Chain A
Amino acid sequence: MHERPRLTPIQINRDLMRSVVETPMVFYVLLLLLMGLVGLGVVAATLLVTYGLGVTGLNHPVFWGFFIINFVFWVGISHAGTMISAILRLTSAEWRRPVVRAAEVMTVFSLMTAALFVVLHTGRPWRTLYWAFPYDFVRGIWPDVRSPLVWDPSAIFTYLTGSILFVYAALIPDLALARDQTTGWRRTVYGVLCLGWRGNARQWKLLNATGLLLSALILPVFVSVHSIVSWDFGMSLVPGWHVHIFAPYFVVGAVLSGVAAVIALMAVMRSLFRLHDYIRPEHFDMIGRLLIVVALAWAYFYFLDFVFALISKEEAEYQVMKLRLSPPYLYLFLLMVVCNVFLPVPIWMFRRFRRNIPIMIFTAVVVNIGMWLERFLIIIPTLQRRHPDAFAWGDYSASLVEIALVIFSFANVALLLLLFSKIFPVIPIWEEKEGHIWKREFRIGKLRLPAIVRE
């Protein structure tokens, strides 16, 4: 990247291994705080499992509540990894280097959290597996492959496995470095995990080929996952959900929330691990530019969703839209649109703001509030008007157990990321060094211009 300072391999090792070998006090503070919040979630989950779904606010006709909203939200966040890592890798975008691992790891942890919410939503976690996986050979009970609720686990399982493999493949050289930089049992563990990596030319050649191959393979999975999540809604005949534009609309929304979450993650990493030489304002600048396109694409799809409902004049669909645009949902709708488009996009238009990290964190948080609300507005008002008969209409308000589990989900992802950063380097060290190998400076007249050479 053009603003990259000249650093020696030893400096890079020292800076990027700091999170692994040093433990600042703030780490323990964060650890305790997050463990407390996760503990709160464990208590809530225990209550849920002990007393059943009665402890939630779910009731006829709203049987999908905060758990499913959270599931869709976290699957959306998981799209950041592939978007940032795979697409930028395939297009050889130089600014990807310090961002890819954090984004990939966030994909893994947010997917795990998302999957957990589906299991919790069933209220009977121990009975859930045979609904999705064909293993009950004794009783001959098989999942119904015609149901979108069975497509979901297959897509998430593929995406999760692929994402873990993606993270691991790129981690091997850094595990070898960790082996070389540590002593005692940690050296042994890193030595085993890096499989005896030595860094010869063949291994590097294969690793680069693997990065491209995995990127190319995981991109279609990335599109399929949120498409299939959208079909949980779209394949039903529920007015407001039975919309053919849902798949691309969900995918774009997922990219918007996921990439925005990467901004917040980058800012935290930069500050917590003193990575100012690696995660620089130019990275926020680039992501800001990307987000302008994604946010406007999301707005376009959202607008089309409304247009289809209004033009078709299908009464039930029309009523759902009307409910979304009536108080109290109107206020949430307005807040969502402001959070997703009208506030962040004008900010991202200005280079000065895109390079201002506190402002970028603000926009990232705002977008994710907006995207969470978007999922809320898709699910709750729609189910309230699921039946044409007004006597079957109902209301929903989340219980404390559900609210605690939503807080848990955020704490859980943050805790897992924090623990990961303690065990593994959060920035791919070898990729950073590779960037330095390719960096050159050109002189044109009186100017010295930094540039990146490519094969």
Chain B
Amino acid sequence: MPSVMGLFKSADTAADAADRLQASGFGPADYEVLTGAPYPEGAFGEDSGQHRLFIFPLGGAMIGFAVGLMVTAGTQLSYPLITAGKPILGIPPMFIIMYEGTMLGALIFTIMGVIFESRLPNLTNDLYDSRITEGYVGLVVRCEDDAQAATAETTLTDAGAEEVKQQGRS
């Protein structure tokens, strides 16, 4: 599928270009906005989609808790040596290690979640420009066909794009 990217020097021009794209028949999900810093959500009328990041730490916490339980109870039961008359399965000390396991699982899965939900690692050769990290705003429009790509190109140029790049057009 062809895609077209317009590079804009300011956020205001990019937001204006996004409005023009929508007026030309493109939906909020048809374009993505590339910036070098986070802008408030919806600043360009884009659709960043739903995510399920908050489920990941919950899953990780459950796995971490289970591993913590296995490590503490499993090791003590596999070699039940009574020390100082204390119970083999002492809940307070087991709780400490299970707690650390729970938190560790939640932390690791949060990172896995953000990587997964951000669609990283991104191995595709999508349109990009290094000027985005210098303050430019990139509007990448995913088009159905060459005709739509031509419309996107015209819209972005008319909206004041400094440069328009294309990919996948025949």
Binding site for B on A (CB under 8 A): 8-10, 13, 134, 140-147, 150-151, 154-155, 157-158, 161-162, 165, 168-169, 172-173, 176-177, 180-181, 195-210, 213-214, 217-218, 220-221, 224, 228, 430, 433-434, 436-437, 455
Contact = CB atoms under 8 A, between A and B. Distances in A.
B36 A177 contact: yes
18 contacts: A13-B133, A142-B75, A142-B78, A145-B94, A158-B101, A165-B108, A169-B111, A198-B126, A198-B128, A199-B35, A200-B34, A200-B48, A201-B32, A201-B46, A210-B110, A213-B53, A430-B38, A433-B36
B101 A154 contact: yes
Contacts of B11: 437
Given A145-B93, A228-B96, A200 B33 contact: yes
Interface residues of B, number: 61
Given A142-B79, A151-B97, A206 B33 contact: no
A196 B111 contact: no
Interface in B34-72: 34-41, 44, 46, 48-49, 51, 53-54, 57, 71-72
B22 to A, nearest CB: 15
Interface of B: 11, 32-41, 44, 46, 48-49, 51, 53-54, 57, 71-72, 75-76, 78-79, 83, 86, 90, 93-94, 96-97, 99-101, 103-104, 106-108, 110-111, 113-115, 117-124, 126, 128, 130, 132-135, 140
Contacts of B75: 134, 142-143, 145
Nearest to A196: B122
A221 B100 contact: yes
Nearest to B92: A146
A35 to B, nearest CB: 32
- Among A141, A142, A181, residue most surrounded by chain B Cβ atoms (within 10 Å): A142
A140 B78 CA distance: 8
A430 B36 contact: yes
A177 B134 CA distance: 9
Given A9-B134, A140-B79, A195 B122 contact: yes
